[in-house]
Amino acid sequence: MNAPQGAWRLTLSYAFGAALWVLFSDGLLMALELSVAQQERVQLLKGLGFVLLTSALLYSILRSHQQHQQQGHRALLRSEKRLHQALEAAGGGIWDWDLQHQQVYFSPGYAALLGIRPETLGVDPLQWQQHLHPDDRVAFERNIQRRMSTLSTAPYEVSYRLQHQDGSYRWIQSRGRLLLDKHGQPERLIGTASDITQRRKDEDSLRQAAVVFDATQEGVLVTDAQQHVVHCNPAFTRITGYSEKEILGQSPSILKSGRHDKDFYNSLWQALKNRGAWSGEVWNRRKSGEIYPQWQCIREIRDGQGEVSHYVAVFSDITALKRSQQELDYLAHHDPLSNLPNRLLFTERVEHALERGRIDGYSGAVMLIDLDHFKHINESLGHNIGDLLLKDVGERLSQQLGKRMTLARLGGDEFGLLDESCGSPEQAAVLAQRLQTCMSSVFQINQQELFITASIGISLYPDDADDVGQILRNADSALFKAKNSGRESYAFYSQELTAHAHQRVELASALRHALDHQELRVYYQPLICLRNQHVIGVEALVRWQHPQRGLVAPGEFIPVAEETGLISAIDAWVLEHSCRQMVAWQAAGYALKFVAVNVSSRLFSRGELDHRVAEVLRATGLDPACLELEVTESAVMDNPDAALALLQRLRALGIRLAIDDFGTGYSSLARLKRLPVHKLKIDQSFISGLPHDPSDVAITRTVIALGHSLGLKVLAEGIEQVEQVELLQQLGCDHAQGYYFGRPQPADQLAARLAARSDTPHT
């Protein structure tokens, strides 16, 4: 019920009640039949009572009305207070534009947005527009006209700039609504305003950051607290090869290269936990599988409660930088003319080699190589020709390098060579001679033939020195000795070593000469069956008949042959010669079952022995069953799988196979039982102690039992006493050889012996 209806009903109720009062009271007085004086008194009392009653009723109505007004006022105050508090909390204000009277009301909060008093703004809209930024006035007026023309009462929102008291412009966001009067005409615009300057700055910053995020050349990866990728930029895709669709939701571990261990990542996460950031070099993997280096920075992002909400990784591909660093490092450590290491790198490697030698007990050699009379070439043909010659010399010397060797150009016509695998002066001398030999061939420089020789100074470590400076000085002193000796020679820092090394090199040269001029001989030692002591075969042993020194002991020249690589040629020569001799003996009627030939580790390791044997058998016509190859146990154990394959191929040829020096090579029984061999030869180091050394007896008994259990024959070598023969017969040994039965001897002497014995009749 509205207020007018309530007032009308209240008035009718009062009139009706008053009429009833008058009628009822007057009728009562008439019924009482009172005197005139009494009636007058009663009428007076009745009037006073009516006044009191109506006064009380009026008071009650007024009191109730007043209470309702007070409640409404308090509610209005509370509402206004809440509104002002809300606006203050939001940093905003109220504006009310009376369109009919063209007056504007601005709340104190609105004026505070501009740092001025409300009365400064006034009530004139034109006065307010003076604070509006010139660039925003056209847009403001267009918005007002559109509202007036469309009469839209829907809420709207606009932003514009108003000038602050300090002269700056603030972005104000205004939310308002058009109100119409009862005739549908615009009556007022009313709304709120708030300062969004900081928000606009933040939005601008975010837009700029987004542009930077997308345009930066560094890859950016964002993960949540659970390390799931939530965002990446185009550079990430370009660097890693993963598209945004492929990487979102994945763990960054998909990028791991496998180069870093668990400790590396533990350290990374510990740094993030302690400092909130980590930076360093990481090797990651592209989608293509390529592993590449990154420089990566990782930071934590925390929310308002201080909890980690995200991780951001920014990284750059430093492959090109690494390549540049390597190129710079190469230029700093290499000679630009020859591309060989320079003095700096050579010195560092010598220092490292000395350190390794001290730790591991290795020895090595440092050589200084100086070209003889090189300055004559520079002076006569020019430095350009000299430089080309130096380059060719470096290339030719490099071809002679083996493992663990470093060749460097130290400056001018001087080269340095580090050999970390040189275990003896003899090896150093052989290497020096090889270097000088390679220099003997003509050099073709710009269609000119040039010859150059070199002098070499050699210093050994750790015998000669244990520091870089001293060993280089020693090598330089040795080089001076070599030059003073007539050039085109080499010299050791120690004169005694020089003489000894010369002897070894001369021996190697003479041995090569012996091969070319048929100075080698094959001697044969009988192999005996212990059961009846009959000669069943012979072992072929090489001897050197030197034209001046006479018969050279094998212990003197065999090591040199192994060091120089001549042993392979010697083995091949002995194999062919022995096979031809065996064919000759068979043709002469000697009942020899086989000839045994030793195979060196070098020839065996080449893996082509089966082809060589097949060629020799075909060339000589020897029955394969009459050839026995003896391979040392150590040669088999160097590469057991390859050795097994080679032995199987040899066995397929039909020849006999024996393991020589058994017991010295630490054989694996599991591998031994798989080897397709016929015989084990007990090394003479175990036979020499028989029959008195209990250990040698036990070893010999064990080897014989082992061989028989594997179905192999067992031969004991180095027998010199009858007691040894008797013990071996008791132990069940099958075959034997040694001085007791016969020394190695030429083929004709052995033939004469065989002819004189009835056990090998001449038919």
Give the pairing type, strands 454-461 and 490-492.
Answer: parallel
Coil, strand or helix at 521: strand
CB atoms < 10 A from the CB of 537, how many? 22
Q: Which of 338, 474, 492, 350 lies closest to 417 in space, CA to CA?
A: 350
Evaluate if residue 310 carries a pLDDT over 80: yes
pLDDT score, position 594: 94
Nearest to 597 by CA among 587, 589, 620: 620
Take residue 332 and report the two structure tokens written for it: 């700093």
Domain boundaries, the chain: 91-201, 222-323, 338-513, 518-756
Q: At residue 501, does pLDDT exceed 80?
A: no
Distance from C-alpha of 538 to C-alpha of 534, rounded to nearest angstrom: 12
The answer, yes or no, to whether residue 297 has pLDDT greater than 60, is yes
pLDDT grade, residue 414 (50/70/90)?
very high
**Residue bearing the bigger pLDDT, 303 or 443:** 443
Q: Strand (E) positions, 181-307?
A: 186-195, 219-224, 229-232, 277-285, 291-302
Q: Which helix (H) or strand (E) holds 268?
A: helix 262-275
- pLDDT in the model for residue 485: 76
Fold topology of 91-201: Beta-Lactamase (3.30.450)
According to the model, what pLDDT value does residue 185 have? Answer: 85
Residue with the larger pLDDT of the pair 436 and 562: 436
Mean pLDDT of 593-611: 85
Q: Answer whether residue 233 shows pLDDT above 80.
A: yes
In which band, very low, low, confident or very high, does the pLDDT at 85 lie, cut at 50, 70 and 90?
Answer: low
Mean pLDDT, residues 313-336 taken together: 84
Q: Do 441 and 453 form a contact (C-beta atoms < 8 A)?
A: no
For 31-52, letters b (16+ CB in 10 Å) and e give eeeeeeeebeeeeeebeeeeee
The answer, yes or no, to whether residue 89 has pLDDT greater than 60, is no
Residues 6+ apart with CB under 8 A from 683: 660, 661, 662, 663, 664, 717, 718
Q: Is the pLDDT assigned to residue 27 strictly greater than 80?
A: no
- Extract the tokens encoding 348: 């560092």
Q: Which letter does DSSP use for residue 746 in this model?
A: -
List pLDDT tens digits, range 694-746.
988 998 999 899 889 888 999 999 999 999 999 999 999 999 999 999 999 99
Residue closest to 508 by CA, chosen among 615, 608, 433: 433
Quick one: pLDDT at residue 484? 75
Q: What is the pLDDT of residue 759?
A: 46
User: Comparing 87 with 720, which gets the higher pLDDT?
Assistant: 720
Domain 222-323 has CATH 3.30.420.10: no
pLDDT at 758: 47
What is the rounded average pLDDT for all residues in the chain? 84
> Looking at the predicted structure, is the pLDDT value of residue 761 above 50?
no
Phi, then psi, of 490 in degrees rounded to 5: -130, 155
Residue 715: predicted pLDDT = 94
DSSP H/E element including 172: strand 169-180
Mean pLDDT of 295-305: 87
Q: Please give the structure tokens belonging to residue 134.
A: 């010139």
Statement: residue 70 has pLDDT above 90: no
Residue with tokens 């004086």: 37
- Decide if pLDDT at 749 tops 80: yes
Please tell me the distance from the alpha carbon of residue 94 to that of residue 192, in angstroms, as a whole number.
5
Q: What is the C-alpha to C-alpha distance for residues 255 and 233, in angstroms, rounded to an integer?
A: 16
CA distances, 256 to each of 141, 259, 556 (Å): 60, 8, 59
> Phi and psi (nearest 5°) for 491?
-145, 145
pTM of the model: 0.43
Mean pLDDT of 556-580: 86
CB 422 within 8 A of CB 318: no
Q: Is the Cα torsion angle 493, 498, 500, 502 positive or negative in sign? A: positive
pLDDT score at 502? 64
For residue 3, pLDDT over 60 is answered with no
At 553, the pLDDT band (50, 70, 90 cuts) reads confident
pLDDT of residue 550: 85
Q: Report pLDDT digits (tens) over 374-398.
A: 888 888 888 898 899 999 999 999 9
Dihedral pair phi/psi, residue 313, rounded to 5°: -115, 125
How many Å separate Cα 704 from the centre of its chain? 53
pLDDT at 22 over 80: no
Q: What is the pLDDT of residues 161-192, one digit of tens each?
A: 888 888 888 888 888 888 888 888 888 888 88
Give the residue-averaged pLDDT of 418-440. Answer: 88
**C-beta separation of 658 from 681 below 8 A:** yes
Residue 531's φ and ψ, nearest 5 degrees, are -65, -45
Q: What pLDDT shows up at residue 663?
A: 64
Strand 679-682 and strand 656-662: pairing?
A: parallel
Q: Which of 261, 271, 264 is nearest to 299 (CA)?
A: 271
d(CA 436, CA 482): 12
Is the pLDDT confidence value at 87 over 80? no
Q: Which CATH number fits domain 518-756: 3.20.20.450, 3.40.50.150, 3.30.43.10, 3.30.1490.20?
A: 3.20.20.450
338-513: CATH number: 3.30.70.270
The single residue listed with the structure tokens 């606006």 is: 87
Q: In what order do the strands lie in the sheet with 169-180?
A: 103-106, 92-98, 186-195, 169-180, 156-163
551 sits in which H/E element? strand 550-552
The alpha-carbon radius of gyration of the chain (Å, integer) is 57
Given this model, what pLDDT does residue 186 score? 86
Q: Is the pLDDT of residue 637 over 80?
A: no
Same fold, 222-323 and 518-756: no
Q: Residue 63: pLDDT above 50?
A: yes
Percentage of the chain lying above the pLDDT 90 cut: 23
Distance CA(614)–CA(618), nearest Å, equals: 6
